[in-house]
Amino acid sequence: MAELFAIDDAPIDAGRLLAAVGDPAAGASVLFLGTTRNENAGRRVTRLEYEAFATMAVREMRRLARQAGRRWPLRRVAMVHRVGVVPVGEASVGIAVSAGHRAEAFEACHWLIDRLKELVPIWKKEHYRGGTVWIGAQQGGPPPPRRRARRAG
Amino acid sequence: MRVRVRFFASLRELLGPGAPRAVPAGTTAGALWDAIVRATPAAGRVRVRIAVNERYVDAGHALADGDEVAFFPPVSGG
C-alpha cells in the first residue's frame, strides 16, 4: 500500500487511511477523525471552509510523521486534511497510525493531531449567519463575526 | 534580487495571492514583511508566520535570489 499524506478537496475516506497503515507487524491501528462542529465560541456555525498551502502542508505532515517515528516504535502513519467547504458533521482531518502495540499508536496519534494543529499550514474559515471569521488570524480570542448589516430590533 | 511572495488565508484576502518582487540583496524575511505592512498597514494586525521555500523561518532569515517567501496567519487546521 502506497503511503498517504495529502491535502484533498474530496470527502475523507477512513478506510483508505486505515489501509495505508496496514502492516503485518502491527498489533494496533488507531484512526483519528476531526469532524466539523456546528458551534464555536457560542456561535452557530453554518459551514466551514479550509485553505491550505498544500505543498508545504504535505511536507510538514511527512516531517511530523518522521518525528513521531523517532519518538515511538511505529509501523506506519497516514495523514489527510480536507480543503474547500466541509459541511458540518463531516471529517476535515484524518490521521491513522499503526504500531506493534496500542499504547504507542494512541500516543503518537494524539501527538500528531496536536502538532498538525500547531504547524501544518492550513486555515479554517467559519461561516455564521451574517458573517465569517478566519480562525487563528485574530489577536486574542475570536471576535464576533463581521456583520454585513445591522439587524432590526 | 527577486523573490516570489505568497500570501494565504486572511492575508491573501487582504493582499492578493502574491507576486514576484524585487528586493535589495541581503533583505531579511522580516524586513520584507515590514515593507509590506508599510504599504498596507491593515496587514500588521496579523501575527505573521513566515516560510521560505516551504520551511518556517524567523524574521531574521536572510533571503536569497529566487526564494519563495510565504506570509500567513497562525494556522488553524484540524
Torsion region of A44: left, alpha or beta (phi above 0 gives left; psi -120 to 50 gives alpha): beta
**What are φ and ψ of residue A7, in 5° steps?**
-110, 130
Of A56, A119, A134, the CB nearest to B9: A134
The structure's pTM equals 0.90
Judge if ipTM > 0.90.
yes
Across the interface, do B77 and A113 touch by the CB < 8 Å criterion?
A: no
> Selecting from 3.30.590.20, 3.30.390.50, 3.10.20.30, 2.40.50.150, what CATH number does the domain B2-72 have?
3.10.20.30
Domains of chain A: 5-132 (3.90.1170.40)
Q: How many CA atoms lie within 13 A of A20 on its CB side?
A: 19
Return the HEC string of A61-75. HHHHHHHHHHHCCEE
The CA-based angle A140-B11-B65, given to 5 degrees, is 125
pLDDT above 90 for A101? yes
> In the prediction, which pLDDT does A1 show?
55
Q: How many CA atoms lie within 13 A of A78 on its CB side?
A: 25
User: How do strand A122-128 and strand B49-52 relate by DSSP bridges?
Assistant: unpaired
C-alpha cell at A130: 451574517
Dist. CA A66–CA A60, nearest whole Å: 10
For residues A151 and B72, the model is more confident at: B72
Of B10, B70, B78, the CB nearest to A134: B10
> In the prediction, which pLDDT does B11 show?
97
Return the domain boundaries, chain B: 2-72
Decide if A79 contacts A94 (C-beta within 8 A): yes
Residues from chain B contacting residue A93 (CB–CB below 8 Å): 77-78
The band of A105, judged by pLDDT with boundaries at 50, 70 and 90, is very high
Enumerate residues 27 to 46 of chain B having a beta carbon within 8 A of any beta carbon in chain A: 45-46
